[in-house]
Amino acid sequence: MANEVNANEVNAANEVNGEDFDEETVEREENEIEQVVEEFIDEPPVRHDECPSSEDEGDEPRKKAKKVVPVKRGAGNLYKGQHFLNGVAFKDSVLDYALRTGRNIKQYRYDKDKIGFICVGAEACEWKVYASTLPKDNVWKIRIFTEEHSCIQNGDCEMLKVPQIARLFVDKIREEPEYYMPMKIEELVQEKWGFTVSRPQCQAARNKALRWIEFENDHMFARLRDYAAELLESNPGSIVEIETLTNTTGEKEIEEFNRIFICFDNIRKTWKESCRQLIGVDGCFLKHKVKGQLLVALGRDADNAIYPIAWGAVQVENTENWLWFVRKIKDVLGLNQGLGYILVSDRQKGLISAVQTELPQIEHRMCVRHIYGNLKKNHASRKEMKSLIWNLAWSYNETEFLQRLDKIFCYDAGVYDDVQKSKPRTWCRAFYKLVTTVKM
């Protein structure tokens, strides 16, 4: 994972791919970001004294995941006067229309500020859509739209070429490259959209998608310092730190990515002024070609919704990286020794050690969902265990805690022993501190 790639290497990669990261690529990224923002749904509120649903906790044995047909596409609805973020968004919408209706659509206008498509399913078909951006309104809009078709579906679509097939499957190929082979892509295109594409087309599309993914990784790491500089320029006062390692290969010394930490200034200030003095810390794997761990610190706002505080990416989840991440959180939030604050995490040993070293006075609580998940691995057949564990966690006082702990012992001695090993006083409500320091 090289952090810096010189211009010659980037140009060479572009020549190999036969394409640049041009203006259309930038427009496509803007359009994808816009769609992600529109589709974002916040998590539901927390319900106290209720066990999480079976769906959330996975009480039933997990069945092997069924392979799903790729790509979440738009509805493909077009109408005169429809607005688009850019030309790429318009072309994607026309492709969605072609996929939804099964019509043989072809692009006939390729100008920078004018794009048009016609139906070539039959000579007499008058279907047509044309969009452009004009100086007077400076927005992409459908100016001409002839909606009626006089042709029938024939399983062909001239618009569905190698680049379009590659874009349809690039995310899935990134996740499961060994599953999405040319034959499978051909089958899925026929099954999902009813279009016939050739095996060589699918092979070329898969190779193109793999080249995009390869180049994307190198290109992004090469621009990592530019990304950090842009964040600092657009968010003054924020903390963005990148650490690299020097790798000597022959006579060349190459800087390789080690870890990055990001905390926006406005997020930090808002958390300190109006959020609870609670910090949840966890890590998860980064998939695809770029391996590593994403470390995240989260809070809870006044509406009890998740509030991101800071995050970082590291190569591996170990004591050294957790110590580094906790130290960064301590410094940017001004936690001192942690007195008056609460931290919630799983029982990852490196994290526990880091918290004890950097925040010795913080109240360190353990996440019940992680506790139950670990218990379930050893006691998968004990169906009633879930309610017993959560009732224990919801205990209001020590007497109730001991009574419910005794119920677990009567239910299964093995479960009871494992519960005791997890130190239940660190994840039971009866032993939480009731008073915290007041923020100034």
Residue 181 scores a pLDDT above 90: yes
Mean of the pLDDT values across residues 336-351? 90
Residue 314 scores a pLDDT above 90: yes
pLDDT, greater one: 39 or 165: 165
Kindly report the backbone phi and psi dihedral angles of residue 178, in degrees, each rounded to the nearest multiple of 5, phi listed first.
-75, -20
For residue 140, what pLDDT band results from cuts at 50, 70 and 90?
A: very high
Residue 187 scores a pLDDT above 80: yes
Q: Which residues pair with 364 in a beta bridge?
A: 343
Q: For residues 362 and 432, what is the distance between their CA atoms, to the nearest angstrom?
A: 12
pLDDT in tens, 90-124: 998 999 999 999 999 999 998 989 999 999 988 88
For residue 7, what pLDDT band results from cuts at 50, 70 and 90?
A: very low
Q: For residues 91 and 142, what is the distance between their CA atoms, to the nearest angstrom?
A: 11
- pLDDT for res 178: 87
For tokens 């206008």, name the residue.
109
Q: Which amino acid is at 18?
A: G
Least confident span in 7-11, 136-140, 390-394: 7-11
Strands (E), 97-190: 105-109, 114-119, 128-133, 140-146
For tokens 């050690």, name the residue.
353
CB burial of 202-235 (b: ≥16 within 10 Å; e: otherwise) equals bbbbbebbbbbbebbbbeebbbbeeebeeeeeeb
Residue 141 scores a pLDDT above 50: yes
Q: Which amino acid is at 374?
A: N
Least confident span in 49-53, 294-298, 324-328, 358-362: 49-53
Does residue 185 contact residue 193 with C-beta atoms inside 8 Å?
no
Percent of the chain at pLDDT exceeding 90: 49
111, with CB counted inside 10 A (0-12, 13-18, 19+), is: exposed
Percent of the chain at pLDDT exceeding 70: 82
For residue 289, what pLDDT band results from cuts at 50, 70 and 90?
A: low
pLDDT in tens, 201-226: 999 999 999 888 888 777 777 788 99
Helix (H) or strand (E) holding 15: helix 7-17
For residue 4, what pLDDT band results from cuts at 50, 70 and 90?
A: very low
